[in-house]
Structure 1
Amino acid sequence: MSPRHFILVSLLLGLVSADFSTSFKNFIIANYGQEMYDNLARNDLGSVGSYGGGSHDGNSATSKRAVILVHGTTNNAGTFSFQRNTLLNNGWSDETVYGTTYGSGSAEITPAPDVAMECEFVQQVRNMITVVANFTKQKVDVIGYSLGSPIARKAILGGECADNSTVNLGSPLTSSVETYVSVAGANRASYLCVLPVTNACSTTNGLFCLSSFLTNINAQQGYEGSHIYSIYGPSDDKVGFYNLPCLTRNSRIVGATEYANATGNHDAILSGTINLQMTYLNAN
């Protein structure tokens, strides 16, 4: 095989392996329709759009609870390939590790300051939780990274969207989630949003500490799942540790078990605490 042909085949295999498995694809289309599959699979993004399903047929419970990885700002499902691969090497499988991509999936397309927590993003993550739980025939675990944490929490909470009050997401999905883990999550704010401005720091669905979105998800406790954890650290350079003007810890989830001493910057916390993340998943 020539080098050119080898590269082409490798690229094609990468695209195929990154999509949902055939059985998961067929399950989604049969039970939810083609549009739902297209929205969750994100094949428009190629090899980084989504993953999950394995050889499971959706007719019985998987041998282990599935974990859904929810990415952060300007990221995509493929951004957390290190976390995914670590899970796959430590007891999980393609049947039990899932990811989808909300938004553009690229900072080149949508810079971080332009990314707010849109109702569309929340609905997509909510759909993912519902579909995976039904496919695996049991509760799921969810890990929300960075901006993915408040988005995933709202997806589980349900109710009216902050940026579109005409859309009601429905009742909480608490009964479908066993363990929820926030990692460097912007749960109460980002320290970069000192003033309420547009998009990422808006008062509606941004990371300003008094935004409608954050006020809504922090007004209740315990809805994220049966077991709730938050991992964060004092040197986070994107979410930060404290915020103004609310003077609260940005990653705190009231009532959650906290590990607040993670070392390194934001990206180091996301990847460097994977063993702790797995410990929390395995504890329940």
Structure 2
Amino acid sequence: MQIKIRRLIEAVYNYTDSKVDIIAHSLGAAVSRKAILGGKCVDTNETIGDPLTFMIDTFISLAGVAYGAESCPIFLESCNEKNGFNCKSGFIHDINAPNYRYEGDYSYYIYSNDDLIIGKNCCGHFCPELKNATDKSEHNDQNHLTIVSKTIEIQYTMLTEHFVIKDEQKDPK
């Protein structure tokens, strides 16, 4: 999957001759991060290429499994310890290994503490936290699915202004 996403990013970048913006939801956030990071796949040992960081302007992880999913038992295929979304997997460790922002010039994560799909505690990390992110936006009145449509204005501001509107900055109405 990472290779297909990489090819799409490269195609859009080459066609538009400009940097790409990416909004990735849920498991797509983790897979997209690996597509951008490049390197070797933890399951096949296949090298997928150099980082695509220079091609990305803004990356938004929307209810993303940055450090995995809290309730992800390893007996489920998608939660295995090699390339699954369990916080102990080699895949999750790989995408969080760099100590720098590789997802693009700007990176954000949008999350809700009420998201029961991702959860909160992933091996001592806050599950949706995007390491080295430019900023974050919290929406505790949303769940894993509603956060997508209820944060469109915030997503747009992140993409166009590279800024996050905090609750205390909103105009009272």
When normalised by structure 1's length, the TM-score is 0.55
1:231 is matched with 110
1:123 is matched with 3
Q: In the TM superposition, what is the alpha-carbon distance from 1:242 to its structure 2 partner?
A: 2.3
Matches for 1:245-284 after TM superposition, within 5 Å: 246-256=123-133, 257-284=135-162
Q: Which has the higher helix share?
A: 1
Report the count of equivalent residues.
160
1:217 is matched with 95
Answer yes or no: is the 8 Å Cα contact 1:184–1:251 preserved in 2.
yes
- Distance of 2:149 and 2:159 partners within structure 1: 16
Structure 1, unpaired ranges of 5+: 1-120
2:25 is matched with 145
Task: Verify: 1:172 aligned to 2:84, yes or no.
Answer: no
Structure 2, unpaired ranges of 5+: 163-173
Q: In the TM superposition, what is the alpha-carbon distance from 1:133 to its structure 2 partner?
A: 0.4
Task: Verify: 1:163 aligned to 2:43, yes or no.
Answer: yes
- Distance of 1:172 and 1:260 partners within structure 2: 29
| Runs of 4+ in structure 1 over 3 Å off | none
Q: In the TM superposition, what is the alpha-carbon distance from 1:191 to its structure 2 partner?
A: 1.5
Answer yes or no: is the 8 Å Cα contact 1:142–1:181 preserved in 2.
yes
Answer yes or no: is the 8 Å Cα contact 1:234–1:240 preserved in 2.
yes
Letter in 2 for 1:146: S
* 3-state SS, counterpart of residue 84 of structure 2: coil
- % identity of equivalent residues: 36
The Cα offsets for residues 218-240 of structure 1, whole Å up to 9 and x where unpaired, read as 01120000001000011112112
- Distance of 2:57 and 2:106 partners within structure 1: 6
Which protein, 1 or 2, shows the higher relative CO under an 8 Å CA cutoff with sep ≥ 6? 2
What is the RMSD of the two structures over their aligned residues, measured on CA atoms?
A: 1.2
| Higher Cα radius of gyration | 1
- Distance of 1:282 and 1:148 partners within structure 2: 22
Task: Verify: 1:154 aligned to 2:1, yes or no.
Answer: no
- Distance of 2:157 and 2:140 partners within structure 1: 15
Answer yes or no: is the 8 Å Cα contact 2:139–2:147 preserved in 1.
no
Answer yes or no: is the 8 Å Cα contact 1:122–1:151 preserved in 2.
yes
